[in-house]
């Protein structure tokens, strides 16, 4: 019987075992799994009532009056710095002939609490004055856009094992000017002087703080006011990105007395997102079964015991955990993994089967960002111990279903693209397809392959009513710009040009990309 002491203790032990097994893992994968396990535990302890379920299915971000207090928060709030002071003269270990400007520093988003968000901004080396502005948000919740997004995925540099930097040929700043925001406070170098903020954080405050950050950042960089602006992200960014877009669109229409600068939001572009807790669980398990990780017998037991709705109970939980995955990277089930340190203390990849990809890269990024000289160059607080993901945040609000929010953004005319690396099991292509189907949009351009400038199939794409676009990225894991940097850049190019990636590559594309 659900709710008995024996049941609760058993479920708690099982879940805590999962958490403890990943306690030393600071990756985004571990952070997302811990978050989802915590939510599963809450559901096991208290089955949702019909009223709760109806509330969960509604869109809690639909009322624009929810954000009526934001003009007051933005009015007269000092940003805490200046553009000149934030200019990076050079990062330790960076290669010669860096031909773009870099900035980093803090923006105060709540003066009373002393809440400050840290950003790293790179301009494009080619025509920065005419290129759009992109804000990149990593997920978690609670993981760093600087350490992951900038240093391991789409930023201009990658960190070498010896602590030097090398250029990323496929950096997104080839096509746009890019801000990497460490959000919320408590992540990376971002902080609050009132530590109770770490116990009261959630989706809503994260979105509101990010909006205040943008307003103040644009005061610091006024040349970007009115520039075409896009929000991009991944993973738990499936919450962050559409929620921030909702705040911006609401505030752009806000008729209040304190007129705020209109943020020229053109679209959102996010990958391998967490959109629906239940469908994500179904997609995760179906993906593993379809890729040979789960046996037919185990899959049959899952289907016999799980409905993938709030009504699922302990038998489903047991069936869904009764198989062995082995030592694979759940973010890319075909990628090599980083093995435990050898006798001399160095980490090493299990194989070199993916040229250009190093699964141990985080172990170079963390010491690099904790180097005193690097912190000084970044204008970060030198007494901060930087980590990739924060364990200090108690997440208080997060809708379990993001489809209503995304559907409303599409209805209101925003360009929305979702992409999915097809080797990721955690936020799988399978799961995302379930959520895309729940949008109930008519197909306007049927599923077909798209190509890279070297005539490889980069993935598959389909477009829907209202311009909504869903694309897969072939042979990519959860961190698409890490596993397939060229393909991610081609897809971004298509998004910014507002056209589907082509079924064949025109010669003009080859010249644009330098291939």
Closest CA to 22 of 38, 8, 6, 10: 38
CB atoms within 10 A of CB 303: 15
Closest CA to 419 of 369, 463, 361: 463
**pLDDT tens digits, 455-478:** 899 999 999 999 999 999 999 999
- What φ, ψ does residue 376 adopt, rounded to 5°? -65, -40
Helix (H) or strand (E) holding 348: strand 348-349
Q: What is the pLDDT of residue 356?
A: 86
**Under 8 Å between Cβ of 77 and 108:** yes
3-state DSSP assignment of residue 96 = coil
Q: Pairing relation of β-strands 102-110 and 115-122?
A: antiparallel
Separation of alpha carbons 389 and 31, rounded Å? 7
> Which CATH architecture does the domain made up of 48-293+328-515 adopt?
3-Layer(aba) Sandwich (3.40)
**pLDDT tens digits, 58-75:** 666 777 678 878 887 777
**pLDDT tens digits, 421-449:** 999 999 999 999 999 999 999 999 999 99
**Under 8 Å between Cβ of 427 and 280:** yes
Catalytic residue among 203, 276, 424, 494: 424
Instruction: List Cβ<8 Å contacts ≥24 apart for 358-363.
Output: 358/161, 359/329, 359/335, 360/161, 361/151, 361/152, 361/158, 361/159, 362/26, 362/27, 362/147, 362/152, 362/338, 362/388, 363/338
Phi-psi region of 300 (alpha: psi -120 to 50; beta: other; left: phi over 0): alpha
Estimate to the nearest angstrom the gap between the alpha carbon of 127 and the chain centroid: 27
**18 has pLDDT over 60:** no
**pLDDT tens digits, 222-266:** 999 999 999 999 999 999 999 999 999 999 887 654 567 889 999
**Under 8 Å between Cβ of 118 and 146:** yes
Catalytic residue among 27, 79, 192, 235: 235
DSSP per-residue codes, 220-288 = HSGGGTTS-EEEEEETTHHHHHHHHHHHHHHHHT---SSPPPPP-EEEEEEES---BHHHHHHHHHHHH
Exposure string of 402-412, with b = 16+ CB inside 10 Å and e = fewer, is: bbbbbbbbbee
Estimate to the nearest angstrom the gap between the alpha carbon of 410 and the chain centroid: 20
**pLDDT tens digits, 259-285:** 678 899 999 999 999 998 878 889 999
Does residue 190 have an active-site annotation? no
Catalytic residue among 86, 192, 379, 478: 478
Phi-psi region of 478 (alpha: psi -120 to 50; beta: other; left: phi over 0): alpha
Hey, CA dihedral for 401, 421, 263, 32, is it positive or negative? positive
pLDDT bracket for residue 510 (50, 70, 90) = low
Does residue 291 have an active-site annotation? no
Does residue 424 have an active-site annotation? yes
């Amino acid at each position: 019987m659900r709710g008995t002491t024996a049941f609760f203790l058993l479920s708690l032990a099982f879940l805590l075992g999962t958490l403890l097994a990943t306690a030393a893992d600071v990756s985004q994968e571990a952070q997302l799994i811990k978050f989802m396990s915590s939510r599963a535990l809450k559901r096991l302890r208290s089955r949702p009532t019909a009223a709760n379920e109806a509330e969960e299915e509604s869109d809690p971000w639909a009322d624009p009056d929810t954000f009526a207090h934001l003009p007051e928060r933005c009015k007269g709030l000092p940003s805490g710095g200046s553009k000149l002071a934030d200019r990076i003269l050079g990062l330790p270990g960076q290669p010669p002939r860096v031909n773009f400007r870099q900035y980093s520093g803090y923006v105060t988003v709540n003066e009373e609490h002393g809440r400050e968000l840290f950003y790293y901004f790179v301009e494009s080396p080619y025509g920065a004055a005419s290129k759009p502005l992109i804000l990149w948000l990593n997920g978690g919740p609670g993981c760093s856009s600087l350490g992951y997004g900038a240093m391991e995925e789409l930023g201009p540099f990658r960190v070498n094992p010896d602590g030097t930097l090398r250029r990323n040929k496929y950096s997104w700043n080839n096509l746009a000017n890019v801000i990497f925001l460490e959000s919320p406070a408590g992540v990376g170098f971002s902080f609050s002087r009132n530590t109770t903020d770490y116990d009261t954080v959630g989706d809503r405050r994260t979105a509101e703080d990010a909006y205040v950050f943008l307003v103040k950042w644009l005061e610091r960089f006024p040349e970007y006011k009115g520039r075409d602006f896009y929000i991009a992200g991944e993973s738990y960014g499936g919450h962050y990105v559409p929620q921030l877009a909702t705040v911006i669109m609401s505030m752009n229409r806000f008729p209040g007395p304190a007129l705020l600068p209109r943020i020229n939001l053109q679209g959102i572009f996010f990958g391998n997102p967490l959109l629906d807790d239940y469908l994500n669980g179904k997609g995760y398990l179906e993906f593993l079964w379809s890729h040979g990780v789960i046996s037919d017998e185990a899959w049959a037991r899952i289907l016999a015991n799980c409905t993938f709705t709030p009504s699922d109970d302990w038998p489903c939980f047991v069936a869904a955990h009764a198989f062995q995955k082995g030592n694979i990277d759940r973010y890319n089930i075909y990628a090599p993994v980083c093995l435990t340190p050898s006798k001399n203390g160095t980490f090493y990849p299990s194989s070199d089967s993916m040229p250009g990809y190093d699964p141990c890269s985080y172990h170079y990024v963390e010491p690099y960002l904790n180097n005193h000289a690097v912190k000084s160059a970044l204008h970060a607080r030198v007494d901060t111990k930087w980590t990739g993901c924060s364990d200090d945040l108690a997440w208080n609000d997060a809708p379990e279903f993001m489809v209503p929010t995304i559907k409303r953004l599409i209805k209101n005319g925003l360009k929305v693209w979702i992409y999915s690396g097809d080797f990721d099991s955690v936020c799988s292509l399978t799961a995302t397809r379930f959520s895309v189907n729940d949008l109930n949009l008519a197909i306007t351009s049927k599923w077909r392959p798209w190509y890279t400038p070297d005539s490889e199939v980069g993935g598959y794409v389909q477009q829907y009513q209202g311009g909504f676009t869903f694309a897969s990225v072939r042979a990519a894991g959860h961190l698409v710009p890490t596993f397939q940097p060229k393909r991610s850049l081609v897809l971004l190019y298509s998004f910014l040009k507002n056209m589907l990636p082509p079924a064949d590559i025109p010669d003009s594309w080859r010249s644009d990309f330098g291939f």
